[in-house]
């Protein structure tokens, strides 16, 4: 027995073990850590997770309500013969520019102001033109005096010509009766020729003075026109959208001072596919429904149908992504109707334009409009 106990530790050492353990020694098992009864990932959701779930539910409900509102208000079921497209209300922009280089003297309006056609918007500094106008007016007076002098001179020369004609007639009678020499007749003829030439010269000087007066008068009118052109006025009724320059700034010829919108020409461009655009013609009845006023359909008319298809701009949403080539259709609001609501005109408002290309189709109730 003692030999066997001595051999087994040696065999274990030769096998590469790090510790020699006798065979009769009992080795204790390692302690097992205590496990919790419920794992952390199986616990109840935290308060943060409950909030996230509640927020997701609210978002879904809001989306459902919004989709239902859009379906019932913005995208009603349309009868055959009526098409619609998305677009934005636009008004023709008008640039108020300077005709001549100069300094801004005064601004009469500002951004957002409603203006009438012919209303003064800005004044340019015209002191140099005013002085040039005075000079031209002085030249007009000088030309008038020159004309008076030329007229008096012409009258004097005419009297000399008449006298020379009378003298030569008497001399001819005397020569015929032998009471005067032919030499005297020749002298009288030279005097008549000289008087007639002087009279023609006097008439020419009178014509020159008259043309000088006309030129000076034209200069006066030109300076008056230039001064008037330096008064910037509104070409049409509209609203001042932007003020580009300020008082005291020196602008070149064509410098922009204001940008205004023409409230009498308001339209919306929409893009429709070939099948629909091919049946639309100028003059067809239309309705515009703005997102800002979803319950107020605005009557309009088709004023333009593109003759060539084009790619739809990215800013305009279409009914289907499959239709890439579309035709541009312009519907314009009646100017008389705009004149009564010009304060409400806003450029850039998005909305829908409905076009009735079949005259027998009836407008839905929400697009019939108000009297």
Exposure of 50 by Cβ count < 10 A (0-12 exposed, 13-18 middle, 19+ buried)?
exposed
Tens-digit pLDDT profile for residues 125-181: 999 999 999 999 999 999 999 999 989 988 988 888 899 889 888 888 888 888 888
DSSP symbols for 160-199? HHHHHHHHHHHHHHHHHHTSS-HHHHHHHHHHHHHHHHHH
Evaluate whether 197 touches 110 at the Cβ level (below 8 Å).
Answer: no
Model confidence at 61: pLDDT above 70? no
Cα 293 to Cα 290: distance, rounded to the nearest angstrom: 5
Tens-digit pLDDT profile for residues 274-304: 888 889 999 999 999 988 888 889 899 999 9
Assign domain 76-94+259-367 to its CATH superfamily: Efflux pump adaptor protein, beta barrel domain (2.40.30.170)
Q: Count CA atoms within 13 Å of residue 264 on its CB side.
A: 10
Please give the mean pLDDT across all residues of the chain.
Answer: 80
Coil vs helix vs strand at 40: helix
Cα 65 to Cα 51: distance, rounded to the nearest angstrom: 21
Q: Which residue has the higher pLDDT, 162 or 73?
A: 162
Q: What is the pTM of this model?
A: 0.60
Angle (CA) 343 348 352, round 5°: 100
Evaluate whether 300 touches 125 at the Cβ level (below 8 Å).
Answer: no
Element (H, E) at 77: none
- Percent of the chain at pLDDT > 70 equals 74
Q: Count CA atoms within 13 Å of residue 294 on its CB side.
A: 9
Tens-digit pLDDT profile for residues 5-18: 443 444 334 444 44
Smallest CA-to-CA distance from 300 within 287, 282, 284, 283 is with 287
């Amino acid at each position: 027995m003692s030999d066997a106990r001595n051999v087994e530790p040696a065999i274990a050492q030769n096998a590469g073990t790090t510790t020699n353990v006798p065979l009769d020694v009992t080795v204790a098992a390692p302690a097992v850590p205590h496990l919790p009864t419920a794992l952390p990932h199986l616990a109840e959701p935290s308060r943060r997770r409950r909030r996230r779930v509640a927020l997701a539910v609210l978002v879904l409900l809001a989306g459902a309500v919004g989709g239902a509102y859009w379906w019932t208000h913005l995208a009603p079921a349309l009868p055959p013969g009526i098409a619609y497209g998305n677009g934005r209300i636009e008004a023709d922009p008008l640039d108020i520019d300077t005709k001549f280089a100069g300094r801004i003297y005064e601004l009469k309006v500002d951004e957002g102001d409603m203006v009438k056609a012919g209303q003064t918007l800005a004044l340019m500094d015209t002191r140099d033109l005013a002085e040039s106008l005075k000079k031209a007016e002085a030249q007009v007076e000088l030309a008038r005096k020159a004309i008076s002098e030329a007229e008096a001179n012409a009258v004097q020369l005419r009297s000399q010509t008449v006298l020379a004609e009378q003298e030569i007639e008497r001399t001819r009678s005397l020569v015929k009766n032998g009471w005067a020499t032919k030499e005297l007749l020749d002298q009288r003829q030279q005097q008549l020729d000289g008087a007639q030439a002087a009279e023609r010269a006097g008439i020419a000087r009178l014509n020159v003075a008259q043309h000088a007066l006309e030129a000076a008068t034209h200069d006066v009118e030109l300076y008056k026109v230039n001064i008037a052109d330096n008064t910037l006025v509104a070409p049409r009724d509209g609203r001042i959208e932007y003020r580009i320059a300020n008082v005291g700034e020196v602008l070149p010829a064509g410098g922009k001072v204001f940008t205004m919108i023409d409230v009498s020409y308001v339209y919306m461009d929409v893009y429709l596919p070939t099948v629909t655009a091919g049946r639309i013609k100028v003059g067809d009845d239309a309705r515009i429904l703005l997102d800002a006023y979803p319950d107020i359909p605005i009557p309009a008319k088709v004023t333009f149908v593109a003759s060539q298809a084009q790619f739809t701009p990215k800013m305009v949403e279409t009914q289907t992504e499959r239709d890439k080539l579309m035709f541009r259709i312009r519907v314009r609001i009646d100017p008389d109707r705009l004149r009564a609501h010009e304060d409400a005109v806003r450029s850039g408002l998005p909305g829908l334009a409905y076009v009735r290309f079949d005259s027998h189709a009836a407008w839905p109730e929400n697009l019939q409009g108000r009297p």
